[in-house]
Structure 1
Amino acid sequence: MASALLLVVTAVALGAGNGAAFDPNPLQDFCVADTTSKVRVNGLPCKDPATVVPDDFFFAGVDKPGRTESRRYGFSALSVQIPGLNTLGASHARVDVAPGGVFPPHYHPRASETAVVLEGAVYFGFVTSYPENKLFAKVLHKGDVFAVPQGLVHFLYNNGTAPAALYATLSSQNPGLVLLGDTLFGSGLADDLLAKTFLTDRETVHKIGAKFRS
């Protein structure tokens, strides 16, 4: 009986531990990424601690927009690359949204997100999971902060006349990004399937899909 109870307790503890976080907990003060190594692990290999310098925890240039522009949606994203964050379960990005532009509905499968508005104003929100599908959204201004729970669909919309910029922090080294429109219409899913999903006809789905495949 005692051994059976121990087995159950162990199983519950392991399950709880696995469910608490997706990124592994660090086993040392830091593991600065060695970007020159060809070894690939869960994260990146660690530099020799004796060779670590202050610049490994530093990034310059977040005051400027990123160069990865989306002509389709009107946003750009600048990934903040800090080697010292390796294995610490966090990533950062600056996001710029042009007037009338959007960071369209998407989700991060492995991370929650907190974003602070640096400049301008945006309509920012998320939608809860099925069946409630409840919208939580606000117009955010400079200095405002908004949080998005892990795995929930969220969006940014700059419906003003001035450019907007945000600084986002995500709770995973590799949060993942799933753009709903691109996933559904740009992946080759059958028109029949999408027509039934969106309660419309194949012709409408085909026209929408063509925009994502061009």
Structure 2
Amino acid sequence: MKGVEFLVALVLFALASKLASASDPSPLQDFCVAVNDTKDGGVFFNALFSLNLHLRSIFVSTDRVEVSKLAKADHSWHFSCSNYAPYGGLNPPHTHPRATEILVVVEGTLYVGFVTSNPENHLFTKVLYPGDVFVFPVGLIHFQFNIGHTNAVAFAGLSSQNPGVITIANAVFGSDPAINPDVLAKAFQLDKNIVKQLQSRFWWDNN
């Protein structure tokens, strides 16, 4: 009898695992009223008042990209504007674990691309001009590179109030504490001294 009960439980567990799915949670509220002062009233968001949105500017000197983004992403989206320096301005390979990104170029020329997951690891790339749109699927490694001789400007919208960002070089070679060089030497088929040299470099903060 116990064997039958175990078998039934196993079948139910298998069915439940097939039906289960995972995704970002729904937005925590339908809307957010921006106020200049909490005394003016307004709507709580995650137990905090939603104040007027403002832009936060980050200048990345090593990669020559200036990113302005909403300091608060109060709904199920995130928005940014990036200014890429002439030829060489780079938003290096990175991922957004919780969001799909849609990029619209408004000025200049960008070479962009993303890599599919294992085992294909297929690279999709395109050169974008003003008015062009490109979508980077959620979680996939992607990049943007200015190949023009003038500044490039692009707007990006991401489908999560907290999309997250993982810059690959930062995570691999700039972690704190550092990953054991033997691990990276074997993973990237590099000399251990080269790995140590990469780990000693300054890796800019993309958060």
TM-score bin, normalised by smaller chain: 0.7 to 0.9
In the alignment, what sits opposite 1:162? 150
In the alignment, what sits opposite 2:91? 103
Once residues 139 and 201 of structure 2 are traced to their aligned partners in structure 1, the CA distance between those partners, rounded to angstroms, is: 26
Runs of 4+ in 1 over 6 A off after TM superposition: 33-37
Compared with structure 1, are the counterparts of its residues 156 and 213 closer, same or farther at alpha carbon in structure 2 (3 Å cutoff)? closer
How far residue 67 of structure 1 moved from its aligned partner, in angstroms, is 3.3
What 5-or-longer segments of structure 2 have no aligned partner?
Answer: 1-8, 39-44
TM (normalized to structure 1)? 0.74
Conserved 8 A contact 1:114-1:147: yes
1:206 aligns with 2:196: yes
1:190 aligns with 2:184: no
What 5-or-longer segments of structure 1 have no aligned partner?
Answer: 38-42
Compared with structure 1, are the counterparts of its residues 13 and 163 closer, same or farther at alpha carbon in structure 2 (3 Å cutoff)? same
Letter matched to residue 170 of structure 1 = L
- Asked which structure has the greater CA Rg, the reply is 2
Conserved 8 A contact 2:105-2:153: yes
How far residue 81 of structure 1 moved from its aligned partner, in angstroms, is 4.4
Once residues 18 and 27 of structure 2 are traced to their aligned partners in structure 1, the CA distance between those partners, rounded to angstroms, is: 16
In the alignment, what sits opposite 1:78? 68
Conserved 8 A contact 2:169-2:203: no
Match of 1:22 among 14, 24, 47: 24
TM (normalized to structure 2)? 0.76
SS at match of 2:202: helix
In the alignment, what sits opposite 2:133? 145
Q: Deviations over 1:76-120 (max 9, x none)?
A: 1111246xx62x311100011112121000000110000100110
Compared with structure 1, are the counterparts of its residues 36 and 175 closer, same or farther at alpha carbon in structure 2 (3 Å cutoff)? farther
How far residue 149 of structure 1 moved from its aligned partner, in angstroms, is 0.6
Compared with structure 1, are the counterparts of its residues 33 and 46 closer, same or farther at alpha carbon in structure 2 (3 Å cutoff)? farther
